[in-house]
Amino acid sequence: MFSIKFKTTEELPEPSSRLIDQIIGQDEALNIVLSAVKNKRHVILLGDPGVGKSMIVKAVGELIEKSPSDDFTPYTIIAKPNLKNPEKPIVELIEGSYKEDIEDIKPKMIRQPPGLLTLMLIMVFFTLLTSYLVRGLSQTYLLAVVATTAIVSFALAFVVVFLAMFGATRGAMSNTVSPLDLKPVVLYECKKRPVVRASAYNVTKLLGDVRHCPLGGKPPLGTPPHKRIILGAIHEAHKGILYVDEIKTMPPEVQDYLLTALQDKCLSISGRNPNSSGATVETNPIPCDFILIMSGNMDDINNLRAPLLDRIDYKIILKNKMDNTQENRDKLLQFIVQEIKNNNLNHMTYEACCEIVRIAQLFAGSRDKLTLRLRKLSNIIKMANDIAMGKSIQEIVEELSGRENTTKEEEKEGKLKSIIEVLKIGERNKKREESKDKGVTAAKKVYIDVEHIRKVIESGIYSMSKQVAIDYLREFKRYKHIVPNDTPKIGVIYGLAVIGSDGMGDVTKIITQIVDSKNPGTHLLNISGDIAKHSITLASALSKKYISEGKLPLKPEKDIDLNRKEIYIQFSQSYSKIDGDSATAAVCLSIISALLEIPLKQDFAITGSLDLNGNILAVGGINEKINAAREYGFKRVIIPESNMIDVIDDKGIEIIPAKRLDEIIPLVFEYDNKKYIKQ
């Protein structure tokens, strides 16, 4: 299995701590990204979730960080008020760090707020006024009144000065600007080449914004515009890398801004919310000269506008599987060791590592391949670790089903991870407590073993789609009457399907009935998807063609007039949506059986799609389908010959490869010599 022998992963060498060495199976993409970054080119990474898109960017960022390049000069971005046009604050990029310059706050000399002098004048004025008004009163009383007035006028003067200082009365105080308001603010200090990550939907984070200053809110009313500027990720990534993920969520106008930023290498910031006081503010263009790396799933690229896409030099597709070679199995082992170390998990036995390889094959859909959707594998390893730590599946599932309201699978998987984290800590503490109680200093070593991984896989907790499929099968299986038997039947055959994207295989009973009618045609029952409909039209045409051209080694009892036959095809007891063409071979055989009135054997299930020449073509989910056939008790399953390389497990079931439809006729029909012509 692996080139190295071991009992547990404990014996294996420590994984490298450099992220770049931890990436497996994506060498090509990684090299292109490295060269693109070196040559300052923009890149888009496309691929399935969890194949390492962000990991590649992080690794490149780490490399840049650790090997500071010669041509980078640290810089600081500061914002200053614009005295002529306050709504247009000035943002400047200065080399090195910002040192406060007396020049910056000089205008305070011109627009000095009322200071001590004003305060004293107000006091004197009020005191004199009061003394004049109360001049007829007794000495003591007079003194008391004058003292009170002095205190009140002092307080009043203080309030006036205070308000003026903080700008709240700037309008009323005419042209008064506080020195605090004049002080430039440092928006961003960049000491090393930056790698900044932002999600495409987070417009403020991506492009920057200007804060609203509400009455009684934060920042306080009157905060000058330059203090309300929020720098965007595009600006923070100046001279470095901007990584934008989730590209399918990027609004078109944001794409336009991004395009402008790429073209002009600078972009101003303005208030994004039209209802906010920030909306009237706009800065000068701020430098943003960055290398753009975007990522998303394959289909997400449709969301990007052509001009932006045209600006991206490299469009890289990440692989979702790799060949199942010893070298790659070793890489998968390296991945397991990394996950154990990075997530602080228990070590794994050799057999459990082999099981992970088997799951990698299963997820890749073939014995010959290993999946590179490694986030999914990583989650499975973590959950197996939790089970090894003594957490029951029931507990994990219960925690999970307590959170029904989310629909997104990714979100659920995220939550699942955090639940697992919590469980893990709880469990560890519990174990520690237990060992303390027993006076045991070192608790018995726990290893992740095959049974723990199998529990995760069988329960399906690593994937919502799998759990739905398991629930569905649990619910409906008891109503289904699918029992392999030795009584041949006309027009009845067992096909195979897969439910859900991470799904489970299922057996479907296909029944064809023929009636003589003046309106010949084919009717489909319980079929929803277009592909399925087309494939069945094909099956129907093909079966008629076979019969009319006498191409089958079967002959009908009597002559049949195909022009007078009305065909009904039913996917019986199929409770899920059927779409796909993998039932074409089964349907075709079922129609032939019904038309020729020759019974089909009932001890096998079949999957395979057909082309117009009767060749049986490969289908997806072959292992899930074989598994389903085995679980329903079938002893034989017919699959396309080209799928044989994909079969992972053939225990307990005979797998019959088929290349052409006519070649399997002798295997599936219950004929006597009269009806069968040897060709």
From 58, 321, 424, 625, active-site residue: 625
22 binds ligand ADP (CB under 6 A): yes
Q: Site for ligand ADP (CB under 6 A): which residue of 64, 340, 374, 598?
A: 374
Nearer to ligand ADP, 54 or 459 (CB): 54
23 binds ligand ADP (CB under 6 A): yes
Closest CA to 238 of 38, 73, 44, 62: 73
Looking at 79-197, list the stretches that DSSP marks H as alpha helix, in order from N- to C-terminal side.
116-133, 139-165, 179-182
DSSP letter string over 542-583? HHHHHHHTT-SSB--SS---GGGEEEEEEEET--S---SSTT
Least distance between ligand ADP and beta carbon 363 (Å) = 13
Q: Examine the residue annotation and report whether 625 is marked as an active-site residue of this protein.
A: yes
Closest CA to 105 of 77, 84, 83, 86: 83
DSSP letter string over 285-347? -EE---EEEEEE-GGGGGGS-HHHHHH--EEEEPPSEEE--HHHHHHHHHHHHHHHHHTTPPP
296 binds ligand ADP (CB under 6 A): no
Q: Site for ligand ADP (CB under 6 A): which residue of 10, 19, 41, 49?
A: 49
Structure tokens at 555: 């002959």
Distance CA 631, CA 619 (A): 20
55 binds ligand ADP (CB under 6 A): yes
Nearer to ligand ADP, 372 or 464 (CB): 372
Q: Note whether 78 and 187 are within 8 A (CB).
A: yes
From 270, 366, 576, 582, active-site residue: 582
At residue 515, the 3 state secondary structure works out as strand
Nearer to ligand ADP, 26 or 346 (CB): 26
Q: Examine the residue annotation and report whether 378 is marked as an active-site residue of this protein.
A: no
Distance CA 183, CA 200 (A): 33
494 binds ligand ADP (CB under 6 A): no
Structure tokens at 72: 């980078």
Structure tokens at 229: 């500027």
335 binds ligand ADP (CB under 6 A): yes
Binding mask 529-568 for ligand ADP (x = CB under 6 A): ----------------------------------------
Q: Note whether 359 and 453 are within 8 A (CB).
A: yes
Report the residue closest to ligand ADP, judged by CB. Answer: 52
Segment (H or E) for 598? none
Binding mask 376-415 for ligand ADP (x = CB under 6 A): --x-------------------------------------
Nearer to ligand ADP, 369 or 544 (CB): 369
341 binds ligand ADP (CB under 6 A): no
Q: Site for ligand ADP (CB under 6 A): which residue of 46, 51, 177, 595?
A: 51
Q: Site for ligand ADP (CB under 6 A): which residue of 8, 12, 24, 126?
A: 24
Size of the site for ligand ADP (CB under 6 A): 17
Q: Site for ligand ADP (CB under 6 A): which residue of 36, 43, 44, 52?
A: 52
Tell me whether the omega of the peptide bond preceding residue 179 falls within 30 degrees of 0, making it cis.
no
53 binds ligand ADP (CB under 6 A): yes
Distance CA 261, CA 308 (A): 11
Closest CA to 423 of 335, 345, 338: 345
Residues that bind ligand ADP (CB under 6 A): 22-26, 49-55, 335, 372, 374-375, 378
Residues with catalytic roles: 582, 625
